[in-house]
Amino acid sequence: MPLSKVFLVTFTALLTMVNPLAVVPAFVTLTQGIARSLRASVALVAAISCVAVLTIFLLAGNYVFSFFGITVPAFQIMGGIIFLTNSLRTLTDDDRRAYDIGGDKRMEDTDARKAEIDPSSIAVVPLAIPMLSGPGAITTVMVLVNLYPAWEQKIAVIFSIVGVGLVSWIVLLAAVPLSRMMGDRGRAVFAKIMSLLLGAIGIQFIINGIRPIALELMKAS
């Protein structure tokens, strides 16, 4: 597969699971009343932390697979099911919850109190972990580990992770005007469009995982 296609597929999957637009309401509330420069610093640290977490899981993924004896088709099927269920949940959920993709991105009251004490402390937790690089995004990276095993493909995936981090940084920088412009309805529409792509990717992952198993069964019979 051409590296450009690897980048495009992985970038789309990761961007859908990270879904920085879903973090905008929490980011605006958590950074409310602080200086613009400090808000920009929080956005940068959160984006860098997200990239670091996903890259670590990408590079260490093969060791995890080897340790637990997980086969590639098994994880492709599981990853596809997770993608598909996340997609269906967003497409069928009430619009007020539609932008919640890849895990619970809602803000707790304790996070707001933490922001009042030290705004920079929220950059890593909860913004980077688990809001940006949550279970859905980490699962996506783990699927990509064995879907694209060659080192040049992994480099393409790393570029897609960096690209997602860059998009997340830009979105968080523009969080205040975006929140006013898009509103809940705009975020819901965007989430549903991205969920359609995520569902299609999930189905393709399931097909890719089932194909070698079916071939083995046919050979055995």
Structure tokens at 45: 């640290």
For 102, the token pair is: 């890849």
Question: CA 161, CA 51: separation in Å to the nearest integer?
Answer: 6
What is the pLDDT, as a whole number, of residue 26? 78
pLDDT band at 104 (very low <50, low <70, confident <90, very high): very low
CB neighbour list of residue 108: distance below 8 Å, 6 or more residues apart: 126
pLDDT at 172 over 60: yes
- pLDDT top residue among 153 and 183: 153
Q: Where are the alpha helices (DSSP H) in 102-150?
A: 109-117, 135-147
Q: What is the pTM of this model?
A: 0.71
Nearest C-alpha neighbor of 131 from the set 93, 172, 184, 95: 172
Element at 105 (helix H, strand E): none
Separation between Cα atoms, residue 82 and residue 89, nearest integer Å: 10
The angle at the Cα of 46, spanning 155 to 136, to the nearest 5 degrees, equals 65
pLDDT at 85 over 70: yes
pLDDT at 119: 53
- Distances 44 to 10, 72, 171, 220 between C-alpha atoms, Å: 22, 34, 11, 54
d(CA 93, CA 98): 6
* Gap between the Cα atoms of 48 and 62, Å rounded: 23
Contacts with 157 (C-beta within 8 Å, 6 or more apart), sequence order: 6, 7, 10, 58, 141, 144, 148
Token pair 């637009």: residue: 21
pLDDT tens readout for residues 49-65: 999 999 998 998 778 77
Give the best-scoring range by mean pLDDT among 13-22, 24-33, 40-49. 40-49
